[in-house]
Structure 1
Amino acid sequence: MSTPPPERVVEQFPHLDALRAVGAVAVLTTHAAFWGGEYTDNGTAGRLLARLDVGVALFFVLSGFLLSRAWLQAAADASARPATGHYLWKRFLRIVPVYLVAVLAALWFIDANAALGAGDRAAAVLLSSSMVDPAFPAGLTHMWSLMVEVHFYLLLPLLMLLATGRRPGLDVRRTVAVLAAMVAASVWWHLDGALRVGEGRDVDAGQWLPAYLTWFAAGIGLALAQVLLVRGRGGRPVSLLARLAAQPGVCWSAAVGLLLVASTPVAGPVLLAAPTAGQSLTKHLLYAAVGALLVLPAVLRVRRPDAGATTFDRLLTNRGARHLGLVSYGIFCLHLPLLHLVMRTTGWELFAGRGLQIWALTLVASIVAAEVAYRLVERPALRLKSVHPLRRRGAAPAEKSTAATGSTTR
């Protein structure tokens, strides 16, 4: 008689919602600072503001961790793998409704988009502008990262099949080989691939998925380490990661230090000039390390049951921070159209200062709009996740984001 697979352990990661809020506010802040001309007028502080686009790397690391973990758990426990159809349906519900709200707002209310043709508008609606144009339309230029993330969603089931195979058991070497291949693909893309693919075409191939596979690989690597840790596997490498994770202050200080390095010329210019291939790769790898270090103590820290809350816990698990994380997707999607609105209604000139005022008005407006979008759009859409028309009969449902992880995936 066969032995049933062990009951899946349900771990909680309550810090991750607040980390997503950190990422969203970081992206908003770097855009507001750019519009206020703060990058070049404030020395090191201005360059650091420019590098707060590291929030995108944080998003990608979080997505890699949260979304891959269900497959890795299933392989380790010899249980049913997530149903691809259900997984894709949930991703659709999570991403598309609020995105369409942002697209409609930008295309119909931002004057710079008035002359766009039907093809450009269709590309924006289909989240594919960077595949056919140099950039997304005004008010949506940040959506290249969402396009990359959606492409990762589509690729993930194949990556997990390559990493875990179909046989019971988690082959660590096989999974690590897939992660190494993802990193190698990104390195090649930065050094040569993007130029080759984009040559002769009016597109920015540097904003396509291959350029960011390392960031997702960092998240998948953390998921692998976490799955191995709770099962007493992984040996010395996982043990060392857990010891580092036990010191959140060290992890975050190291992340800040690496961000300071990224603010120097080794990671390229802070404005719109194109970096060299070496600078692009350096920035990419530094951001991967920053994202991984920020997430590490939130997912691999082993705490005694009787241990009290640390400053790290109090900052990231308080109710306000977690709620801000809950609506952070709306903040991310809507902040740039609202930034256009702030500049239009105030009459402030681009690059003419007032960075703090621009940031404050945009942040407040984005939080309010995100709260409304969450209640009227996101939450009603997510109620449909149990109606999974693509689910394959007999397959396991995809892991529940909130109940099983303590965090919703962006």
Structure 2
Amino acid sequence: MAIGQWIRAELADFPKKNTIALLDGVRAFACLIVIWYHIYQTPLALHIWDPQSFAHPLVNAFLYFGKYGVTLFFVLSGFLLFTPFAKALLFEHTWPSARHYYVRRVFRVLPAYYLSLILIILLFQQQYLLPQHWKELGLFFTFFMDSSDATFKQLNAPFWTLAVEWQYYMLLPVLVLGMR
């Protein structure tokens, strides 16, 4: 089967099964390499031990490049979020509702993000409750913390990935309108 036929077949079934099995496997792989990357980097950063001294050079290379798992997640998210719009463009399906899209994104991301942000501030970073830090705190609550040196990788370093994802979420329906 040609790649174009495979893509069309996968996209044709997308709303029925709401997943693409191969990409679920790629997502699992990306998750594992990010986990292994952090397992690999933490002892180095804390100067506990050097995992390079215990592992085969090929394993070390694999673990080192685990940081690219985040990039893989971004690419997958972009593709999967664009899929309903692509189906509408390619197969003349109904155009996805921007309202439905935004509501799903809000309820999927915001509750867990805001809860973790508030808990981190209350339990570990109380200085963000002081008025001189409210500007930075505002950047976290609006997902612009990746745009400031004062907040980039603060509170919880992986939050920067949520800022990138959230900005993409907000722009996607606007960008695809130009393709319509």
**Equivalent residue for 1:136, pick from 153, 163, 172:** 153
Identify the match of residue 42 of structure 1 among 52, 61, 69: 52
The answer to whether residue 132 in structure 2 is matched with residue 122 in structure 1 is no
Using the size of structure 2 for normalisation, the TM-score is 0.71
Q: Are residues 21 and 104 of structure 1, via their aligned partners in 2, closer, same or farther at CA, if it must alter by over 3 Å? A: farther
SS of equivalent to 2:154: coil
Any conservation in 2 of the 1:84–1:157 contact (CA below 8 Å)? yes
Task: Quote the Cα distance in structure 2 between the aligned partners of 1:56 and 1:115.
Answer: 30
Give the distance between the partners of 1:106 and 1:47, measured in 2 at CA.
Answer: 33
Distance 1:26 1:114, change over 3 A: farther
Deviations 1:9-67 (A, max 9, x none): 32442343444343334323322322211796516444532321212112112112211
C-alpha displacement of 1:96:
1.0
Aligned-pair Cα RMSD in Å: 2.6
Alpha carbons of structure 1 residues 48 and 14: separation in structure 2 relative to 1, 3 Å: closer
Q: Secondary structure of the residue that 2:13 maps to in structure 1?
A: coil
Is the CA contact 2:146–2:160 (under 8 Å) kept in the aligned structure 1?
yes
**1:90 paired to 2:104:** yes
The answer as to 2:84 corresponding to 1:70 is yes
| Separation of aligned partners in 2, 1:147 and 1:90 | 17
TM-superposition CA deviations, 1:83-134 (whole Å, max 9, x none) = 1121111111111111122212322222xx2333233233223322122335
Helix, strand or coil for the counterpart of 1:9?
Answer: helix
| Cα drift, residue 70 of structure 1 | 1.0
Instruction: Write the letter of the residue equivalent to 2:115.
Output: V
Identity of aligned residues (%): 25
Higher helix share: 2
Q: 5+ residue gaps in structure 2?
A: 1-10
Match of 2:168 among 139, 152, 164: 152
Match of 2:34 in 1: 27
Q: 1:15 to 1:102 in 2, by over 3 A?
A: farther
Conserved 8 A contact 1:124-1:137: no
3-state DSSP of counterpart to 1:102: helix
Choose which of 55, 65, 70 in structure 2 pairs with 1:51: 65
| Contact preservation (8 Å) 1:27, 1:52 | yes
Quote the residue 1:9 is aligned against. 12
Contact 2:43/2:51 (8 A) holds in 1: no
Check whether the contact 1:130–1:136 (CA below 8 A) recurs between aligned residues. yes
Matches of 2:13 and 2:96, distance apart in 1: 15
Distance in 1 between residues matched to 2:145 and 2:94, nearest whole Å: 37
* Cα distance in 2, alignment partners of residues 153 and 127 from structure 1: 11
Distance in structure 1 (CA, Å) of the matches to 2:64 and 2:31: 14
Q: Greater CA radius of gyration, 1 or 2?
A: 1
Q: Which runs of 5+ in 1 are unaligned?
A: 1-7, 166-410
State the distance in 2 between where 1:101 and 1:58 align.
26
Q: Which has the higher contact order (CA 8 A, sep 6+)?
A: 1
Q: Is the 8 A contact 1:30 1:52 kept in 2?
A: yes
1:105–1:25 CA distance, 2 compared to 1 (3 A): farther
Q: Distance in 2 between matches of 1:115 and 1:92?
A: 27
Q: Quote the residue 1:227 is aligned against.
A: none
Could you tell me whether the CA contact under 8 Å between 1:29 and 1:52 is conserved in 2?
A: yes
Conserved in 1, the CA contact under 8 Å of 2:30 and 2:70?
Answer: yes
- For residue 73 of structure 1, give the secondary structure of its aligned residue in structure 2: helix
| Stretch of structure 1 that moved more, 79-88 or 45-54 | 45-54
